[in-house]
Chains A and B, each alone.
Chain A
Amino acid sequence: MIAPLHTLVAALAADTTPQGTAWLPPAASNIAQSVDPMFYAINWICYIFFFGILAALVYFVVKYRVRKGQAFRSDGPLHHLPLETSWAVVPLLIVIVIFYIGFRDFLNISTPPKNAYVVQVTAQKWAWNFKYPNGATSDDLYVPAGRPVQLTMRASDVLHCCYIPDFRVKKDLVPGRYSYLWFQADDVSGQNPHNLFCTEYCGTGHSTMNRKVHVLAQEDFDAWLVEQSQWLDKIPEEELFFRAGPKIYARCQQCHSLDGTKGIGPSWKGLWSRVHGGEGSNEKFGDGSTYASLIGPGKKYATPEDYLRNSILNPGSELVGGYGNAMPSFKGQLNDKAIDAVIGMMQHLDDFDPKTGKYLKEAPAAPKVSMK
């Protein structure tokens, strides 16, 4: 029983290609190599049963159809123990074999190898953060080709789920726990980059939590890693707000607009004036205080920058009236320089396109850096 199915699975293995097959997306990981033949083997079992049942159904209906008034025949069998037992036992044997193969491969899927390259993953509403051993972080996932990669994942607010269809891997991220996922991608030339989706419903931005996975050859990956860990450090302090600001703002824009549109969080438009005692500084907070009563020498926040920095690191401590406690903390994700860049962007907001966040003034030529 097991042997023929194994043969079928092996024969179908030849079917999997990096371009994707009739039913499945490109097979770009070691795990896809074992999942795909299994999927097609089950498909074939389904086809055989389905078309068998359908053929019998149509044949019986056509053959045994009667018109009203025709006398009834009654020579059909009422029960047939061997037959009925056989169609309980045969499906049972088939599913036991399917179970066994699925189980064997699943153990492989759920056990990361000891020598795996570890990337720390944090998911929150509605962004992914990937952190590499040298301290570099990114919004897209970059992995080296040809070696096992383990994602050590956690969620900071609600359930999320990391799903990379081309790799056939998926695992929930549960707040308060760590979960693992691993794969090995060998192909750097095929369909690259690959999609990464959130597949556990997490609210407003659930469907926008999709990023890319880039598989790089080891030497390219190493170079990228060095570049990625230093890009912010290389930018001089005075250029931070327009060179780093918009890149970091890309993570804020789902909730905070620049043009005054009310989002999940307050718009940044006019924020600089509000925190500086200008227009809007009497706007009420949820607890009745105002910008003016919170910010200033001797008050809770001595400077507007203190208030803004705290709002990024402890977003729940003051809530602007009419907004819920929806923002996750960016502690450990944005360092001091990145926060300086964000605050600088808020200060010079008029220099940015209110729709896209693009810097409108002529920037001095600078060495090319990439965050994503």
Chain B
Amino acid sequence: MTTIDASRPIDLASRPDNYLTHTRGFLSWALTLDHKRIGVMYMAAVLVSFFVGGVFALLVRTELLTPGQTIPGVTADVYNQFFTLHGAIMVFLVIIPSIPAALGNFVLPIMLGAKDVAFPRLNLGSFYLWLAGAAFTLVSLAMGGFDTGWTFYTPYSTTTTTGGVIPVLFGVFILGFSSIFTGMNFVVTVHKLRPPGMTWFRMPLFLWAIYATAIIQVLATPVLAITLMLVVIERTINIGIFDPSMGGDPVLFQHFFWFYSHPAVYIMILPAMGIISELISVHAHRHIFGYKFIALSSIAIAIFSFLVWGHHMFTSGQSPLMNTLFSLISFSVAIPSAVKVFNWLTTLYKGNISLTTPMWYALSFMVLFTIGGLTGIHLATLNTDVHLHDTYFVVAHFHYVMMGSALIGMIGGLHHWWPKMTGKMYSEKLGTAACIIIFIGFNVTFFTQFYLGAKGMPRRYYDYLPEYQTYHVISTIGSYIMASGFFLTAYCLLSSLYSGRKAAANPWGGGSLEWQCTSPPPHDNFAVQPSVGDCYDFRALRWDETTQGYVNDPALAAEAARNPLH
């Protein structure tokens, strides 16, 4: 960071050309090989899906305002489709691609000082596979939808009479390939395209997280693909694999499914942890504390993620020995997660904290992830899990991790890189207000559900006993608060496109390479390959009033060079 002044692409910064204006017309986007444009298209697609999945969530919450039917026309069958669609859309179309494919695509090559990912055509192919997967989901809706739950448990999924099960299984199958290709692309990119000087332990932590995620995507997703195909085969040509009436074993499906879907939880949360490492360090303008522990804990989580799937099945009838082993290994995930939280916390200590919108999201993440992680203890513990399994306690726990952490991390990252992606600054007042509204709404919605679940309210219930109603009403009100926060966020970001002031190259004071090219970056990212220092050393940065951004101060840089950090 302190040594890159000579290679700074100054002439590019003064050129009006950037990746958004480099070429024009629909085809220039549809056929683009530019990782930045693909990232932006992914982001748009993911956010549209997030809106749709969110509408289903609000329908589910509204229906649960009263026991029995609340919304006219929403019968048990319709409700079952609502929560199934909410889950399937949020998991497969939103959270899994959100950070790696959308933000990762945009940021990863620039952070590496590279021109693009290793395989740009494969990258575009991944996006079209995503679109095809989403299209199959729409086809499924047209053919009668599906009511299997996002988990597709057999033999229900092989016997249900809703017409859209096979198309959606194909859709998820195709989305799986999109995910595998993105993962492969990123693994190769990180291995082969790092610039001179960027050793593994000099990579920004976001790249470690994306790298660990990519490995899980490549190794775990094929198992899901095969499993879903087996379900399709069982439904269409009645070969008994999972259905006991044809000689199959329904618990086998659960093993196969969770062998992917537990690692998938880390596909969702690991990249968000990577974003938080960046956000905390950049907005506290303070060298990340314990870099190696954070980096290696990502790898540790990736490895553990493959060994804990059985904790979804403590009450499924698997043997007590297996339950014991899976419980023990599940606890081990707590260690790298705790290390990350404590290291982020210590990064704030003696920092130079700017309470920017991304920082508010990072702080929200830390609070919500701590709650989500700690309540995992109740569920990894065998005897308490028997009581809590398949209740709202589980629903609350995984929403704290998947939404409160993974999605909040994503939205935080979006605010962090928005000036880089669009070249515009949004209103920080609005952005921060929206973040706080979402944080409050989220806790009202989901903390209540811990209570509901501990009191025995089962999940996936259309109708419930009147004694649970008060808490359902509170939870639903929370979801409305949260929704209004998201609408405010959408307004804040979209209005910045029209009326936002121009973003400086480095509006937050970041040290990694993407803050050295202009906002938005030029088509080629860098004119010459930049050389790399310590991306978490912020000492050379100085706030510049005229550009409303941070600039490298040669005097500070020289002083920093005389006193290396260690």
Contact = CB atoms under 8 A, between A and B. Distances in A.
B155 interface: yes
B374 interface: yes
Closest 9 CB pairs of A and B: A165-B456, A176-B244, A76-B350, A106-B382, A102-B381, A60-B348, A207-B461, A105-B383, A199-B390
A88 B293 CA distance: 10
B351 A46 contact: no
Contacts of A66: 285, 352-354
Contact of B160 (A45, A50, A203, A210): A203
Pick the most buried of B80, B352, B385, B565: most chain A CB atoms within 10 A of its CB.
Answer: B352
Contacts of A69: 543, 545
Contacts of B332: 92, 95
A136 to B, nearest CB: 27
Contact of A199 (B345, B375, B385, B389): B389
A38 B384 contact: yes
B262 interface: no
B317 to A, nearest CB: 5
A211 to B, nearest CB: 12
DSSP majority for the A interface?
mixed
Interface of B: 76-77, 80, 147, 149, 153, 155-156, 159-161, 244-245, 249-251, 284-287, 289-293, 315-317, 320, 323-324, 327-328, 331-332, 334-335, 338-339, 341-343, 345-355, 363, 366-367, 370-371, 374-375, 377-378, 380-387, 389-391, 451, 454-456, 458-465, 538-539, 541, 543, 545, 565-566
B375 A46 contact: yes
A110 interface: yes
A56 B346 CA distance: 9
Contacts of A38: 381, 383-384
A115 to B, nearest CB: 20
B248 to A, nearest CB: 8
29 contacts: A24-B387, A34-B383, A42-B378, A42-B384, A46-B375, A50-B371, A60-B351, A64-B350, A72-B538, A76-B349, A77-B350, A84-B342, A87-B342, A88-B339, A92-B334, A99-B331, A106-B327, A107-B320, A109-B386, A110-B320, A157-B155, A157-B159, A158-B155, A175-B244, A175-B250, A200-B390, A201-B156, A203-B160, A204-B76
B353 A165 contact: no
Contacts of A169: 386-387
A158 to B, nearest CB: 4
Contacts of B354: 65-66, 68
Interface string A158-181: 110101011011111011110100
A60 B343 contact: no
B331 A96 contact: yes
Contacts of B160: 203
Contacts of B249: 176
A371 interface: no
A88 B335 contact: yes
Interface in A52-97: 53-54, 56-57, 60-61, 64-66, 68-70, 72-80, 83-84, 87-88, 91-92, 95-96
Nearest to B84: A201
Contacts of A159: 153, 155-156, 250
Q: How large is the interface on A (under 10, 10 to 19, 20 to 34, 35 or more residues)?
A: 35 or more
A202 B80 CA distance: 10
Contacts of A75: 350
Interface string A5-23: 0000000000000001001
B159 A50 contact: no
Contact of A64 (B349, B366, B389): B349
B338 A87 contact: yes
B465 A46 contact: no
A197 B392 CA distance: 13
A95 B377 CA distance: 8
Contacts of A23: 451, 454-455
A117 B385 CA distance: 25
A109 B314 CA distance: 12
Contacts of A161: 315, 390
A330 interface: no
Pick the most buried of A24, A79, A101: most chain B CB atoms within 10 A of its CB.
Answer: A79
B539 A207 contact: no
B352 A99 contact: no
Given A39-B387, A57-B367, A96-B331, A170 B251 contact: no
Contacts of A95: 331-332, 334-335, 377, 380
A199 B320 contact: no
A170 B387 contact: yes
Given A76-B349, A103-B327, A170 B338 contact: no
B343 A84 contact: yes
B348 A57 contact: yes
A39 to B, nearest CB: 5
Contacts of B370: 49-50, 53-54
